[in-house]
Chain A
């Protein structure tokens, strides 16, 4: 079956979080949210837990919003997703804005929970659909949350991957460096190099990211689309109507 780019990305992320038992999803995250739901559907027998902030479906709720931070603080969440207006080569993320602070000429919403959850959730997947030199920069203008920390900082979590519309990177925390893991079909290494503002490691013949199977697409278009449309009706309408 044919699939659209969002379905491809949902599947790509779902593959990365497949080993996790507990997945939390923050606000403004329809693609990661769909990926978490897909991953849950694909491993029904393991009773994977998914928490989605903003959902009113009892399946995805905790008692209240502050709990997600308490759970993360205790180490009870395995995977989470963050994005950035800017993301740099050492995985610092900027959700705040560009220009001299505080009167920034470009101002985004704000850090949300990133300045906490990035430190405490073992697998944080960075996700940004738009892969270009404005987003993937050598060094962010404002560190909303740092990609790594010195030894005197309590840190049990951090970035593991970066997924974009072009490719998937692994992040090596020891070396503080991204490695190109795979390139999406119809895109090239040259295109990735041209559009990335930071240095990263790669092999001259990178792997190609695998797309979803027909069986996975079927689940995505039925169970997952129904569940995500409760939280992101406009997104679901756009992708699956």
Chain B
């Protein structure tokens, strides 16, 4: 269950996998950098519900064929350069969505349902371009139209969390979306700041914020594994480093430089 390194964990993910990445605070940067190092390709990414630095980096490194997203940006550091460029030149397939639609698709998977109905979306061009989203009459109120979203079942959910135990239980605290990711995905791989010898589910304070090992396929320790993004109560985002990425990511050499530097820094921390 507990792997020696993030790189070993990254190698568990085959090329062509459909991967769910949560939007912030739990982004597995070290794992992502090691996925790039492993030479992974053809990923289908689902951003939950939006994406940022890691998604842009994976696109810029040529690892991605499609992105289902409600939006990708670098926050205060501006637009996501590789995402924007990849759409312009058509090198990735874009499935534009809206935040609650992504959550709803994952909730359908969590329940083993074929689809989930949702209000909104009607009359938008998102709906026009998404042939996989259907419009039906509300069976209980036939004069009302409603959309049905297909189930989203990722092959892997990947995220970074504060704590795991030896059995593979993962403490995520208030980040309950990560529970949804784990429930909805066929497999979940997690990096953590540290591993404790105590069983997290046996601690009444930690148990409510813990995802049971049942859902977890592998864990690796990666100290500072979300850096340069933040992990609440552990470290803040490094704006300078994200802004530096925004500049460097405009060229292939720039991205390589940024990856090399951060891969070394993140892996050396462990």
Instruction: Report the contact-size class of chain B (Cβ under 8 Å from the partner).
Output: 35 or more
Instruction: Report the contact-size class of chain A (Cβ under 8 Å from the partner).
Output: 35 or more
How far apart are A166's CB and chain B's nearest CB, in angstroms? Answer: 24
For the complex, is B53 an interface residue (Cβ under 8 Å from A)? Answer: no
Q: Which residues of A contact B70 (CB under 8 A)?
A: 110-113
Q: Is the interface of B mostly helix, strand, loop or mixed?
A: mixed
User: For residue A141, which residue of chain B has the nearest CB?
Assistant: B125
For the complex, is B249 an interface residue (Cβ under 8 Å from A)? Answer: no
Contact partner of B126 (CB less than 8 A), chosen from A65, A144, A153, is: A144
How far is B103's CA from A101's CA once the two chains are assembled, in angstroms?
24
**Across the interface, do A113 and B96 meet the contact criterion of CB distance under 8 Å?**
no
Stretch at the interface among A9-17, A116-124, A192-200: A116-124
How far apart are A121's CB and chain B's nearest CB, in angstroms? Answer: 11
**Across the interface, do B24 and A54 meet the contact criterion of CB distance under 8 Å?**
yes
How far apart are B240's CB and chain A's nearest CB, in angstroms? Answer: 11
User: Which residue, B80, B89, B99, has most C-beta atoms of chain A within 10 A?
Assistant: B99
How far apart are A160's CB and chain B's nearest CB, in angstroms? Answer: 18
For the complex, is B194 an interface residue (Cβ under 8 Å from A)? Answer: no
Stretch at the interface among B57-65, B143-151, B159-167, B254-262: B143-151
**Across the interface, do B94 and A102 meet the contact criterion of CB distance under 8 Å?**
yes
Contact partner of B177 (CB less than 8 A), chosen from A28, A56, A66, is: A66
List 18 extra interface pairs beyond A65-B99, A116-B99, A119-B122, CB under 8 A: A65-B177, A69-B99, A96-B126, A102-B96, A104-B88, A108-B79, A112-B50, A112-B70, A112-B71, A116-B118, A119-B119, A144-B126, A149-B123, A150-B123, A152-B143, A152-B145, A153-B145, A234-B239
**A-B residue pairs in contact (CB < 8 Å), sample of 6:** A28-B73, A104-B87, A110-B71, A111-B70, A119-B119, A149-B123
- Residues of B at under 8 Å CB distance from A? 23-24, 49-50, 69-73, 75-76, 79-80, 83-84, 87-90, 93-94, 96-101, 103, 118-127, 129, 143-146, 174-177, 180, 232, 239
